[in-house]
Amino acid sequence: MPKYYLAKAQLTELLDELGEGATLPAERELAERYGVARETLRLALRELLLEGRVRRQGRGTVVAGPKIEQPLALGSYTEGVRRQGHTPGRRLIGLERFAAADDDAARELGVERGDFVWHLERVLLVDDERVGLESTYAPVALLPRMDEDFDPAGSFYAYARDAGGLVSGGGEERIETVLATPREALLVGTPPALPMLLLHRRSWDAQGRPFERVRTLYRGDRFSFSTELRAGE
């Protein structure tokens, strides 16, 4: 059995003993306790980090709680987090208006090339912990006052419904695994080597008009996704 795997098994037992939120002893102390080199111990801790069993907090490592499970369905991030008993939040990075620069972006949002669209970028929070980065694009024509009356900490879906009468009528979503760019890792507060879950979503209203295109990056150690499968007819 590889030494790091044995150390990982011993660390897993320690995590169960300590409980969620507890701080692990220093690496040097753990390496001495389990009789392994510090590099071997770091390899075991790295795997536990990728699996979401531990997380970095300041200069230390703490026992992580269960992953946040998000349904792959039309609905807001806010609603999904609240259903699991956590407090959702968002921190504004920027809200800007720019002209659609290419045909693909214009087509996905149902506008002409050169028409103005909003770009809203926010850090996603769960219980004040940074867990993701969300970029939302929306036609200015449908939400002309977004820079004046939108609450950056609130739900975009709720705002679109209340301010523009836009009720979701359908959408399409794609998910993949990526590594964050240095900028994204800095904003989310994760190491650049940590795998991330990237979701692309395009939604339209009840009349079939596209009203949002979203690119959301979630921490792979803090999130999982689920969907309901039904038998074909």
C-alpha 184/C-alpha 99 separation (Å) is 24
- pLDDT tens for the chain, 233 residues long, are 678 889 989 999 998 898 888 999 999 999 999 999 999 998 888 888 877 788 877 778 888 877 777 766 666 677 778 877 888 899 999 999 999 877 888 888 989 988 999 999 999 998 888 999 999 999 999 999 999 999 998 889 889 999 999 988 888 888 998 888 889 989 998 877 778 899 999 999 888 899 999 999 998 877 777 777 666 54
DSSP H or E stretch at residue 16:
helix 3-18
Three-state SS at 56: strand
Domains and CATH numbers, the chain: 3-63 (1.10.10.10), 68-226 (3.40.1410.10)
pLDDT at 31: 92
pLDDT at 143: 94
pLDDT at 75: 63
pLDDT at 113: 87
Residue type, 151: D
